[in-house]
Chains A and B, each alone.
Chain A
Protein backbone atom coordinates (compact mmCIF):
# COMPACT_ATOMS: atom_id res chain seq x y z
CA UNK A 1 0.00 0.00 0.00
CA UNK A 2 1.35 3.43 -0.92
CA UNK A 3 1.97 5.86 1.92
CA UNK A 4 -0.08 8.58 0.17
CA UNK A 5 -2.98 7.54 -2.05
CA UNK A 6 -4.83 9.67 -4.59
CA UNK A 7 -7.30 8.98 -7.36
CA UNK A 8 -5.25 9.64 -10.52
CA UNK A 9 -8.32 10.77 -12.49
CA UNK A 10 -8.38 12.39 -14.97
CA UNK A 11 -11.04 14.79 -13.84
CA UNK A 12 -12.56 16.54 -16.87
CA UNK A 13 -14.67 19.53 -15.87
CA UNK A 14 -16.12 22.58 -17.65
CA UNK A 15 -14.93 26.07 -16.89
CA UNK A 16 -16.64 27.45 -13.83
CA UNK A 17 -17.19 24.07 -12.20
CA UNK A 18 -16.28 23.21 -8.64
CA UNK A 19 -14.04 20.17 -8.28
CA UNK A 20 -12.75 18.33 -5.22
CA UNK A 21 -9.72 16.10 -4.83
CA UNK A 22 -9.03 13.81 -1.90
CA UNK A 23 -6.13 11.85 -0.63
CA UNK A 24 -5.37 9.56 2.30
CA UNK A 25 -2.08 8.97 4.08
CA UNK A 26 -1.04 5.96 6.13
CA UNK A 27 1.67 7.31 8.45
CA UNK A 28 0.03 8.80 11.54
CA UNK A 29 3.39 10.44 12.41
CA UNK A 30 3.07 12.77 9.43
CA UNK A 31 3.17 16.36 10.59
CA UNK A 32 3.01 18.65 7.57
CA UNK A 33 0.65 18.43 4.62
CA UNK A 34 0.61 20.16 1.26
CA UNK A 35 -0.84 20.33 -2.17
CA UNK A 36 1.65 20.82 -4.99
CA UNK A 37 0.77 21.63 -8.56
CA UNK A 38 2.69 20.18 -11.49
CA UNK A 39 2.22 21.35 -15.06
CA UNK A 40 3.05 18.98 -17.91
CA UNK A 41 6.81 18.38 -18.13
CA UNK A 42 7.50 20.97 -15.40
CA UNK A 43 8.65 20.74 -11.82
CA UNK A 44 6.21 20.56 -8.87
CA UNK A 45 5.41 23.87 -7.20
CA UNK A 46 3.84 24.43 -3.82
CA UNK A 47 0.17 25.36 -4.18
CA UNK A 48 -0.72 25.55 -0.51
CA UNK A 49 -0.10 24.09 2.90
CA UNK A 50 -2.93 22.25 4.63
CA UNK A 51 -3.98 22.81 8.23
CA UNK A 52 -6.49 21.07 10.48
CA UNK A 53 -8.45 24.29 10.78
CA UNK A 54 -8.78 24.45 7.01
CA UNK A 55 -7.30 27.17 4.89
CA UNK A 56 -8.36 29.11 1.86
CA UNK A 57 -6.42 30.90 -0.84
CA UNK A 58 -8.70 32.57 -3.33
CA UNK A 59 -10.61 29.86 -5.18
CA UNK A 60 -8.70 27.08 -3.43
CA UNK A 61 -9.65 25.52 -0.09
CA UNK A 62 -7.65 22.80 1.64
CA UNK A 63 -8.71 20.70 4.59
CA UNK A 64 -7.01 18.14 6.82
CA UNK A 65 -8.73 15.50 8.93
CA UNK A 66 -6.06 13.98 11.18
CA UNK A 67 -8.41 11.43 12.73
CA UNK A 68 -9.27 9.98 9.32
CA UNK A 69 -5.81 10.74 7.84
CA UNK A 70 -7.54 12.44 4.94
CA UNK A 71 -6.64 15.59 2.99
CA UNK A 72 -8.83 17.46 0.53
CA UNK A 73 -8.54 20.26 -2.01
CA UNK A 74 -11.53 22.15 -3.38
CA UNK A 75 -11.26 24.35 -6.45
CA UNK A 76 -14.13 26.72 -7.11
CA UNK A 77 -14.93 28.48 -10.41
CA UNK A 78 -12.39 26.39 -12.37
CA UNK A 79 -10.29 28.19 -14.97
CA UNK A 80 -8.62 26.74 -18.05
CA UNK A 81 -5.31 27.61 -16.39
CA UNK A 82 -6.10 25.26 -13.49
CA UNK A 83 -5.47 22.29 -15.80
CA UNK A 84 -2.54 20.45 -14.22
CA UNK A 85 -1.67 17.53 -11.97
CA UNK A 86 -2.30 18.08 -8.27
CA UNK A 87 0.01 16.21 -5.92
CA UNK A 88 -0.91 15.43 -2.32
CA UNK A 89 2.21 15.57 -0.14
CA UNK A 90 3.04 14.73 3.47
CA UNK A 91 6.16 15.35 5.53
CA UNK A 92 7.53 14.39 8.91
CA UNK A 93 9.62 17.10 10.50
CA UNK A 94 12.23 14.65 11.72
CA UNK A 95 12.91 13.22 8.25
CA UNK A 96 12.92 16.23 5.93
CA UNK A 97 11.72 14.22 2.96
CA UNK A 98 8.44 14.77 1.18
CA UNK A 99 6.18 11.80 0.41
CA UNK A 100 4.10 12.38 -2.73
CA UNK A 101 0.91 10.80 -3.90
CA UNK A 102 0.56 9.67 -7.49
CA UNK A 103 -1.14 12.93 -8.44
CA UNK A 104 -4.61 13.73 -9.74
CA UNK A 105 -4.92 15.13 -13.24
CA UNK A 106 -7.40 17.95 -13.83
CA UNK A 107 -8.45 19.04 -17.29
CA UNK A 108 -10.68 22.11 -17.44
CA UNK A 109 -12.54 22.41 -20.73
CA UNK A 110 -14.01 25.59 -22.28
Chain B
Protein backbone atom coordinates (compact mmCIF):
# COMPACT_ATOMS: atom_id res chain seq x y z
CA UNK B 1 0.00 0.00 0.00
CA UNK B 2 0.95 3.65 -0.24
CA UNK B 3 3.31 4.97 2.40
CA UNK B 4 3.73 8.48 3.74
CA UNK B 5 4.43 10.94 0.95
CA UNK B 6 5.96 14.40 1.20
CA UNK B 7 6.20 17.21 -1.30
CA UNK B 8 8.33 18.79 -2.51
CA UNK B 9 11.29 16.44 -2.15
CA UNK B 10 13.66 19.39 -2.36
CA UNK B 11 13.06 23.07 -1.73
CA UNK B 12 15.61 25.84 -2.20
CA UNK B 13 14.59 29.27 -1.00
CA UNK B 14 16.13 32.56 -0.07
CA UNK B 15 16.50 33.93 3.43
CA UNK B 16 13.36 35.73 4.51
CA UNK B 17 10.97 33.85 2.22
CA UNK B 18 7.92 31.81 3.23
CA UNK B 19 7.74 28.06 2.54
CA UNK B 20 5.11 25.34 2.86
CA UNK B 21 5.92 21.66 3.15
CA UNK B 22 3.20 19.06 2.62
CA UNK B 23 2.69 15.62 4.14
CA UNK B 24 0.22 12.92 3.06
CA UNK B 25 -0.01 10.28 5.79
CA UNK B 26 -0.93 6.64 5.37
CA UNK B 27 -4.68 6.35 4.87
CA UNK B 28 -6.49 5.70 8.15
CA UNK B 29 -3.65 6.89 10.37
CA UNK B 30 -4.99 9.37 12.89
CA UNK B 31 -1.66 10.50 14.31
CA UNK B 32 0.78 12.62 12.32
CA UNK B 33 4.20 13.91 13.37
CA UNK B 34 6.72 16.37 12.02
CA UNK B 35 10.43 16.03 12.75
CA UNK B 36 13.46 17.97 11.59
CA UNK B 37 16.84 16.36 10.92
CA UNK B 38 20.02 18.38 10.61
CA UNK B 39 23.17 16.94 9.11
CA UNK B 40 24.82 14.41 11.39
CA UNK B 41 21.99 14.48 13.92
CA UNK B 42 18.99 12.32 14.68
CA UNK B 43 15.49 13.57 13.89
CA UNK B 44 14.18 16.17 16.32
CA UNK B 45 10.48 16.30 17.20
CA UNK B 46 8.53 19.39 16.11
CA UNK B 47 4.78 18.76 16.43
CA UNK B 48 2.25 15.94 16.76
CA UNK B 49 -1.36 15.92 15.54
CA UNK B 50 -4.08 13.63 16.79
CA UNK B 51 -6.82 14.06 14.21
CA UNK B 52 -7.16 17.74 13.36
CA UNK B 53 -5.72 19.13 16.56
CA UNK B 54 -2.12 19.69 17.59
CA UNK B 55 -1.70 17.43 20.61
CA UNK B 56 1.88 18.54 21.27
CA UNK B 57 3.67 21.45 19.60
CA UNK B 58 6.44 21.73 22.16
CA UNK B 59 9.14 21.07 19.56
CA UNK B 60 8.38 24.03 17.31
CA UNK B 61 11.49 26.20 17.66
CA UNK B 62 9.76 29.60 17.49
CA UNK B 63 6.68 31.38 16.19
CA UNK B 64 7.96 31.38 12.61
CA UNK B 65 6.95 27.71 12.46
CA UNK B 66 3.33 26.68 12.20
CA UNK B 67 1.55 23.50 11.11
CA UNK B 68 -2.02 22.62 10.27
CA UNK B 69 -4.05 19.51 9.56
CA UNK B 70 -7.52 20.90 8.83
CA UNK B 71 -9.28 17.68 7.79
CA UNK B 72 -7.32 15.22 9.86
CA UNK B 73 -5.38 13.84 6.91
CA UNK B 74 -2.93 16.00 4.92
CA UNK B 75 -0.73 18.32 6.96
CA UNK B 76 1.21 21.42 5.98
CA UNK B 77 4.24 22.76 7.83
CA UNK B 78 4.65 26.47 7.26
CA UNK B 79 7.82 28.44 7.88
CA UNK B 80 7.81 32.22 7.74
CA UNK B 81 10.83 34.49 7.25
CA UNK B 82 13.14 31.54 6.68
CA UNK B 83 16.65 31.66 8.08
CA UNK B 84 19.78 29.78 7.02
CA UNK B 85 19.55 27.79 10.24
CA UNK B 86 16.23 26.35 9.08
CA UNK B 87 18.07 24.31 6.44
CA UNK B 88 17.45 20.64 7.24
CA UNK B 89 15.46 17.62 6.15
CA UNK B 90 11.88 17.86 7.38
CA UNK B 91 10.41 14.42 8.01
CA UNK B 92 6.76 13.56 8.42
CA UNK B 93 5.54 10.35 10.07
CA UNK B 94 2.16 8.82 10.74
CA UNK B 95 0.85 6.09 13.01
CA UNK B 96 -2.48 4.35 13.46
CA UNK B 97 -3.14 6.08 16.77
CA UNK B 98 -1.08 8.35 18.96
CA UNK B 99 -0.83 8.10 22.70
CA UNK B 100 -1.28 4.89 24.59
CA UNK B 101 0.61 1.70 23.84
CA UNK B 102 3.11 2.29 21.12
CA UNK B 103 2.03 2.46 17.51
CA UNK B 104 4.81 2.23 14.94
CA UNK B 105 5.53 5.52 13.23
CA UNK B 106 6.10 5.27 9.49
CA UNK B 107 8.25 7.99 7.99
CA UNK B 108 8.00 9.74 4.66
CA UNK B 109 11.08 10.39 2.49
CA UNK B 110 11.40 13.94 3.77
CA UNK B 111 11.68 17.38 2.25
CA UNK B 112 15.22 18.72 2.03
CA UNK B 113 15.00 22.47 2.68
CA UNK B 114 17.92 24.71 1.79
CA UNK B 115 17.82 28.37 2.75
CA UNK B 116 20.38 30.45 0.89
Contact = CB atoms under 8 A, between A and B. Distances in A.
Interface string B73-106: 0000000000000000001010000111110110
B40 interface: yes
- Chain A, interface SS category: loop
Contacts, number: 59
A95 B50 CA distance: 11
B107 A101 contact: no
A59 interface: no
Contacts of A44: 43, 91, 107
A91 interface: yes
Given A44-B43, A96-B50, A99-B45, A91 B102 contact: yes
B8 to A, nearest CB: 15
Given A42-B109, A43-B108, A45-B107, A96 B42 contact: no
A101 B42 contact: yes
Contacts of B91: 43-44
Contact of A96 (B41, B43, B98, B107): B98
B31 A87 contact: no
A97 B100 contact: no
Contacts of A32: 102
B115 interface: no
